[in-house]
Amino acid sequence: GAVVSQHPSWVICKSGTSVKIECRSLDFQATTMFWYRQFPKQSLMLMATSNEGSKATYEQGVEKDKFLINHASLTLSTLTVTSAHPEDSSFYICSAPTGKEQYFGPGTRLTVT
Amino acid sequence: EDQVTQSPEALRLQEGESSSLNCSYTVSGLRGLFWYRQDPGKGPEFLFTLYSAGEEKEKERLKATLTKKESFLHITAPKPEDSATYLCAVQARQAGTALIFGKGTTLSVSS
């Protein structure tokens, strides 16, 4: 199947700082990518849709000024968590559709201290 | 409202003991139903996509089926390495290609 990578796989940052997470489609182009968040023992919740060449669309309740998304190219989307707080600690996962299927990255564990 | 419900929440099996996981869904026009496997601390691994009622797909010990209201993931003669959380997700026509996930079924297979 298709491969999606994320970097970093885990990150620890101090409260008030910003963190950037990268999502890359390695063997296909993706005009759209999705960002999900998963809390322990919970399901994946869609945060936003990243669109190449246009603004991201955010799900209700997700602060667009806090979670900045940039779809820089057909193979790269970035999520920046600005002014991170402990409640932002979570598992962030990106996905990209190709054809009728959708592939997920390995996830990024963010811990804010 | 589009919704996905998975049951049971957790399932413990002995090696070789076959069983089924259930995924019930309500969606305004089903574009596709997806099954993923997720190991702790990792992203979901794609297993199957089903598109219409009556469709079935198989991969090794796993078989997925779809009706108009639910999907089943049948596990035949499971092995300990099948232990994982199995996630079901739907793609609705109005939602573009974003997926709506259930909470998952955590499967533990003991030898």
State the DSSP string of A69-102: EEEEETTEEEEEE-S--GGG-EEEEEEEEETTEE
What's the pLDDT band for B93 if we cut at 50, 70, 90? confident
Q: Which of A36-50, B4-18, B79-93, B94-108 has the lowest mean pLDDT?
A: B94-108
| B26-80: pLDDT as tens digits | 988 899 999 999 999 999 999 999 999 999 999 999 999 999 999 999 999 999 9
Q: How far is B32 from chain A (nearest CA, A)?
A: 8
**B78 near A CB under 8 A:** no
The pLDDT value given to residue B103:
94
Q: How far is B109 from chain A (nearest CA, A)?
A: 19
CB contact (8 A) between residue B102 and residue A101: no
A86 backbone dihedrals φ, ψ, rounded to 5°:
-55, -35
A41: phi > 0 → left, psi -120 to 50 → alpha, else beta; which? Answer: left
Peptide bond between residue B8 and the one before it cis (omega within 30 degrees of 0):
yes
Task: Quote the CA–CA distance of A103 and A5 in Å, as a whole number.
Answer: 10
**B96 near A CB under 8 A:** yes
CB contact (8 A) between residue A102 and residue B43: no
Q: Strand, helix or coil at B25?
A: strand
The pLDDT value given to residue B95:
52
Q: Is pLDDT of B94 > 70? A: no
Which chain A positions have a beta carbon within 8 Å of B96's beta carbon? 32, 49
**B44 near A CB under 8 A:** yes
What's the pLDDT band for A99 if we cut at 50, 70, 90? confident
CB contact (8 A) between residue A109 and residue B41: yes
Q: Is pLDDT of A4 > 70? A: yes
The pLDDT value given to residue B96:
57
Task: Quote the CA–CA distance of A79 and A93 in Å, as a whole number.
Answer: 10
Relative to beta strand A108-112, strand A101-104 is unpaired
Q: Look at the block and give the residue holding tokens 């469709």.
A: B55
Cβ–Cβ under 8 Å, residues A102 and A92: no
Write out the two tokens for A37: 């968040």
User: Within 13 Å and on the Cβ side, how many CA atoms surround A65?
Assistant: 0
Average pLDDT, chain A: 94
Cβ–Cβ under 8 Å, residues A32 and A95: no
| A51-71: pLDDT as tens digits | 998 899 999 999 999 999 999
